[in-house]
């Protein structure tokens, strides 16, 4: 069931950010932070991320289908399909991307770690104590008196989770490196194009000056 619809999107935007709602103005700029935000929502109460809305200026920027495909790819690459899904809601004749995140029963690791949401803006990393507490509470709910064997498995699970966090962090850093290189390449191409058009304009101006 979709939480955000064309009927309630206006009231959600007016209410502002909260511990279950976050806005991102520029989709491409939000990509590198997206896995962290999804992890934080999933490890807390769940929530929605709305892309294409500038809360500071209260303006609707909108998004494109290309950006929507990028967002879906980010979710897939980080294996987050089980805790969230993305869809589009039309508002003021523009498309807003909504990422709906469900509260997860297990700890969600993405963007280089396992995160939790503390208020409407801050995201912090789960400590080993938090991880241990969450897993222990899950075990206690099914086994009233955890045995020594269960506690040993618990410690092993925490170790596995932190191994996954380290791996996730390396993957995330590599993705950021690639993205940075791509941005630098695009900027270089843009500069070359600018120089080309400057030279072309100068040549055309010189030729026209000679002719007329």
pLDDT of the residue at 47: 95
pLDDT per residue over 101-144, tens digit each?
999 988 888 887 788 888 776 676 766 666 666 666 665 555 55
- Report the predicted TM-score, pTM, of the whole model to 2 decimal places: 0.66
Summarize the confidence of residues 171-187 as an average pLDDT: 67
Summarize the confidence of residues 14-26 as an average pLDDT: 91
pLDDT band at 73 (very low <50, low <70, confident <90, very high): very high
Q: Are 61 and 25 in contact (CB under 8 A)?
A: yes
Domain range summary for the chain, segments of one domain joined by +: 9-184
pLDDT per residue over 80-92, tens digit each?
999 999 999 999 9
Least confident of 69-73, 105-109, 195-199, 205-209: 205-209
pLDDT band at 207 (very low <50, low <70, confident <90, very high): low
Those residues with Cβ within 8 angstroms of residue 25's Cβ, 6 or more apart along the chain or in another chain? 52, 53, 54, 55, 56, 61
CATH 3.30.950 correct for 9-184? yes
pLDDT of the residue at 31: 80
pLDDT per residue over 21-55, tens digit each?
999 987 777 788 899 899 999 999 999 999 999 99
pLDDT of the residue at 164: 65
Average pLDDT, the chain: 79
Q: Are 71 and 114 in contact (CB under 8 A)?
A: no
């Amino acid at each position: 069931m979709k939480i955000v619809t064309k009927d309630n999107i206006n009231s959600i935007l007016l209410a502002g950010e909260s511990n279950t709602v976050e806005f991102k103005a520029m989709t491409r700029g939000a990509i590198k932070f997206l896995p962290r935000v999804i992890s934080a929502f999933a490890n807390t109460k769940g929530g929605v991320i709305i892309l294409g809305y500038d809360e500071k200026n209260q303006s609707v920027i909108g998004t494109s289908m290309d950006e929507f495909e990028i967002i879906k790819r980010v979710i897939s690459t980080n294996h987050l399909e089980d805790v969230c899904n993305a869809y589009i809601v039309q508002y003021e004749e523009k498309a807003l991307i909504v990422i709906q995140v469900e509260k997860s029963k297990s700890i969600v690791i993405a963007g280089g770690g396992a995160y939790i949401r503390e208020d409407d803006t801050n995201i912090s990393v789960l400590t080993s104590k938090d991880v241990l507490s969450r897993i222990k509470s899950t075990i206690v709910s099914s086994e009233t008196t955890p045995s020594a064997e269960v506690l040993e498995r618990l410690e092993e699970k925490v170790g596995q989770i932190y191994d996954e966090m380290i791996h996730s962090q390396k993957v995330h850093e590599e993705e950021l490196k690639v993205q940075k290189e791509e941005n630098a390449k695009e900027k270089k191409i843009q500069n070359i194009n600018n120089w080309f058009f400057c030279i072309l304009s100068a040549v055309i101006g010189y030729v026209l000056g000679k002719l007329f």
